[in-house]
Structure 1
Amino acid sequence: MIDVTLKKGKEKAAMLRHPWIFSGAIDKIKGKPANGEVVTVRSSEKEFLAYAYYNDQSRVALRLLEWDEDVAIDKSWYEQKLKSAIASRAHVLNDDTNTCRLVFSEADFLPGLIVDKYADFLSLQVLSAGIEAVQEDIIAILRQELNPKGIFDKSDAGARKHENLEPVQGLLWGETPPEFIEVKENGILYHINIAEGQKSGFYCDQRDNRQILAAYTKDKSVLDCFCYSGGFTLNSLKNGAAHVTSVDSSALAMETLKHNLELNGFSADQQESIQSDVNKQLRVFKEEGKTFDVLVLDPPKYAPSRSALDRAARAYKDLNRLGMHLLKKGGILATFSCSGAVDLETFKQIIAWAALDAGREVQIIKQFSQPEDHPVRISFSEGEYLKGLLLRVL
């Protein structure tokens, strides 16, 4: 196995079990490893630190896998990691929920691998050269452990370009998923389109937060922005919301939401769907003098990296300022950020600026986070990407 030696003083992150080492920390490489190859990482004193995937095309040149020198990174190692990840989610799946995230990249010691379960189908995202090199082994293990009807590749994410990988999508094994897979989450039915849907097909990371928010919606008027397939919409209606207005710019989202409303038997007079840019639509509502009891703001990732943080902060502030104008006195705002570069304290500050500009007082009722099938390793805070606030706007 090829040795990669770090510069003096650069071994601290590896010793603290952080899974990333940037290219600038590397002193020398004995040999020429292929991108995705497993290498041995050593300190400047030649002491063993970890085994890692190597990639000279990525700023994260080393993705650390294993800190025990006596453990081999072979098929049995991958099998153990996958079995452990799947077993830890077993209790999440039940009669009311048959969809969840089974593997969450670094959190499950498999950097660059995401596996989502949608009923009898699996959706994979392969985001590192190291995982791509062992993809066939991973598929074989998943087949053995889960016996799915089909495994679909959704590795079309922009993150692949950082590893010098082309985006790919298509069937990896088994049956081609139907246009709409029917799944159940918290007793609510959803039609999921893996091939054309966003990310891996469905945002199961909001499962717990949808239920929390729904408790505030009984007999209330709700505005669900960036609604996608209707998670907050459907949970609100199930809990007795008087009316829900759902806004998204995607035609596919509107089509999927329509299917989901029909699946769950909600009548047309309980809900209105609007295909529009959310920021523009919020301004239209303000001009029309419309107000709501409950508002959900769950936008896409505004800050894909720290370099985009300032621009993202302005976007989050403007969005929340517009939203606060539409809430009745004492109304509830559920606002989220899925940008890993925006930590919770920064997000709170952004909301404070939005409240000041909107001329509203705001109370924090609860803090939202990602669910247990999206765990955060204590040594890898970057994995804590989803955060949100449940606010009362006065």
Structure 2
Amino acid sequence: MASYLSLRQMHTIKLKKGKAKAAHQRHPWIFSGAVVDDGEGPQNGEVVQVVDHLDGFVAYGLYNGQSRVAVRLIEWDSDRRPDEEWWRVRIQRAVETRQPLLRSSDTNTVRLIFAEADFLPGLIVDKYADFLSVQIHAAGAEKVKHVITDELNRLLRPLGIYERSDANARMHEGLPAANGVLCGDTPPEWLEIRENGIRYEVNIAAGQKSGFYCDQRDNRLFTARYAAGKRVLDCFCYSGGFSLNAFANGAASVVSVDSSALAMETLKRNVTLNGFDESKHVAVQADVNKQLRVFSDSGQRFDMIVLDPPKYAPSRSGLEKAARAYKDLNRRGLLLLERGGLLATFSCSAAMDVGTFKQVLAWAALDAGKEIQFVRQFTQPEDHPVRASFPEGEYLKGLLCRVV
């Protein structure tokens, strides 16, 4: 590891003519097709120097010959060679920007590091009460895992740091899945956290990704303002974020739907944990699209519906297919709303921009025979920032729609 960080034998990656413009504008991705193949590629995860076709310095980056993104750029100052201290400083800066959230008395779950947004590609770190959950999706971050772990432990002194690097992204980087304790204690099977004053029990060693989605923190709080006295349907509910917020704000009843058995178990525990009236709650383990048809066929109606599906468009190539899926899902949801009903609908597909999403909703409303107003746009919270030079980091968007 010392030889990797010393950079004495740093490789140089040359870009083809006309391929350096985006990199000079601080976009962090160099695709494999932009690289001159000299037959002597560095090791995957190695720090490299990137130059243009005239050998002018562009940036330092992390190389991976197996990935479509051949180099992930991390530093544009030629005098700041990315060594161990560079990684530590970047981690410190990321954590420092989250201090307002870390000082909150009613929320103790925060995203501490958000990959490219924090100049740390392939690294995601979430804080859940006194434990940290780490996801490493790129070979460059994998190379310095021990540095990442040590610095996080030094800065935050958690009870334990747990790795959940089992995403498909690792496969594209030539990395095996990795799941387990990096340091400290093993997290309990059920760890209690708080978000906006609501208590949750989460399992950060199982289930989806890190066990809880803190990117909807602000959106859950805002939509709940409309829940008082309403019949609420929460689809793709997972551990119950929107459902619990609706109850906390006086919903008359809540129906929660998810296909995951673990989600249903977690949700029920969380309803009980917060002391909400279980007689007003129905948890349905089912495919959401099929269950929406069941509700429609039975004549059931709701005053407010939340649709928070998984990513339908993993890339731009899948956008057309995803748009059809989003349209059909939202059409089915709108059919269950009468005049004055509210639909809070989301997309976590970075390939789908908010303008396209609005068009999809317009088509869904037309097919459902409904007229809708866009009341509010939703986005990701402050601990999921978007770098100006990396708009791809803006993945979460949502719309609050009213049937008129």
1:200 maps onto 2:200 in alignment: no
**Is 1:375 equivalent to 2:373 in the alignment?**
no
- CA shift for structure 1 position 270: 2.1
Aligned with residue 54 of structure 2, among 45, 48, 55: 45
Show the 5 A alignment for 1:374-393.
374-393=384-403
Alignment check: 8 A CA contact 1:6 1:25 kept? yes
Give the alignment partner of residue 298 of structure 1, picking from 295, 300, 308: 308
State the TM-score, normalizing by the size of structure 1: 0.99
Give 1:80 deviation, angstroms.
0.8
Secondary structure of 2:294's aligned partner: helix
Task: Pick one of 49, 56, 81 that aligns with 2:90.
Answer: 81
TM-superposed CA distance for 1:29, in Å, is 4.4
- Is 1:99 aligned to residue 109 of structure 2? yes
Q: Is 2:236 the partner of 1:232?
A: no
2:234, 2:254 within 8 Å by CA — same for their partners in 1? yes
Tell me if the contact between 1:224 and 1:245 (Cα under 8 Å) persists in the aligned partners: yes
Match of 1:61 in 2: 70
Distance in 2 between residues matched to 1:222 and 1:271, nearest whole Å? 10
- What SS is found at the alignment partner of 1:106? helix
Structure 1 distance, partners of 2:293, 2:21, is 49
CA distance in 1, matches of 2:307, 2:315: 21
Q: How far apart, CA to CA, are the structure 2 residues paired with 1:346 and 1:159?
A: 26
Between 1:225-234 and 1:24-33, the stretch displaced more is 24-33
Q: Could you say which residue in structure 1 is the equivalent of 2:176?
A: 166
Displacement of 1:31: 4.0
Alpha-carbon distance in structure 1 between the residues aligned to 2:342 and 2:230? 10
Aligned residue number for residue 351 of structure 1: 361
Q: What are structure 1's unaligned runs of at least 5 residues?
A: none
Tell me the distance in 2 between the aligned counterparts of 1:30 and 1:105.
30
Match of 1:71 in 2: 80
Letter in 1 for 2:131: F
CA distance in 2, matches of 1:99, 1:167: 24
Residues 254-305 of structure 1: CA distance to partner in whole angstroms, max 9, x if unpaired? 0000110111001212211111110011000001101110000000011111
Q: How does 1:1-394 map to 2 (within 5 A)?
A: 1-29=10-38, 31-93=40-102, 94-394=104-404
Amino acid at match of 2:113: V
Displacement of 1:330: 1.1
Alpha carbons 1:3, 1:29 under 8 Å: kept:
no
Separation in 1 of the partners of 2:40 and 2:349? 37
Amino acid at match of 1:289: G
Tell me which moved more, 159-168 or 48-57. Answer: 159-168
SS in 2 for 1:61: strand
User: What amino acid sits opposite 2:11 in the alignment?
Assistant: I
Give the AA of the match of 2:239: S
**Contact persistence 1:2–1:30 (CA under 8 A):** no
User: Do the aligned residues in 2 keep the contact of 1:4 with 1:30 (CA within 8 Å)?
Assistant: no
Q: Kindly provide the CA deviation profile for residues 304-357 of structure 1, in whole angstroms up to 9, marking residues without a partner as x.
A: 111211111111000000000001211000000001111111111111110110
* RMSD of aligned residue pairs (Cα, Å): 0.9
| Cα shift at 1:167 | 1.4
User: Matched residues in 2 for 1:305 and 1:166: separation?
Assistant: 22
Output one character per residue of 1:148-194: Cα deviation in whole Å (capped at 9) or x when no partner.
11111100001111111111211111111100110000000001101
3-state SS of 1:17 partner: coil
For the residue of structure 1 that corresponds to 2:165, the secondary structure is coil
In structure 1, distance between residues paired with 2:176 and 2:256: 35
Tell me, in whole angstroms, the C-alpha distance in 1 between the residues paired with 2:114 and 2:49: 24
Contact 1:185 1:207 in 2 (8 A): yes
Give the conservation status (yes or no) of the 8 Å contact 1:6–1:28. no
Instruction: State the one-letter code of the partner of 2:385.
Output: P
Counterpart AA for 2:205: A
Instruction: Tell me the matched-pair count.
Output: 394
Q: Aligned partner of 1:158: which letter? A: N
TM-score, normalised relative to structure 2? 0.96
Aligned-pair CA distance for 1:6: 0.3
Alignment CA distance shift 1:71-1:371 (3 Å) = same
Kindly state the Cα deviation for residue 234 of structure 1 after the two structures are TM-superposed: 0.4
Q: Secondary structure at the match of 1:64?
A: strand
Distance 1:112 1:32 in 2: 20
User: How many Å apart are 1:32 and its aligned residue?
Assistant: 3.0
2:241 and 2:297 mapped to 1: Cα distance? 27
Q: CA contact under 8 A between 2:41 and 2:65: conserved in structure 1?
A: no
- Identity, % of aligned positions: 62
Distance in 1 between residues matched to 2:237 and 2:307, nearest whole Å: 9
Structure 2 spans left out of the alignment, 5+ residues = 1-9
Q: Once the 2 structures are TM-superposed, how far is the Cα of residue 30 of structure 1 from its aligned partner?
A: 8.0
- SS for the counterpart of 1:166 is coil
**Moved runs in structure 1, 4+ residues, more than 2 A?**
28-32
Cα distance, 1:227 vs structure 2: 0.3
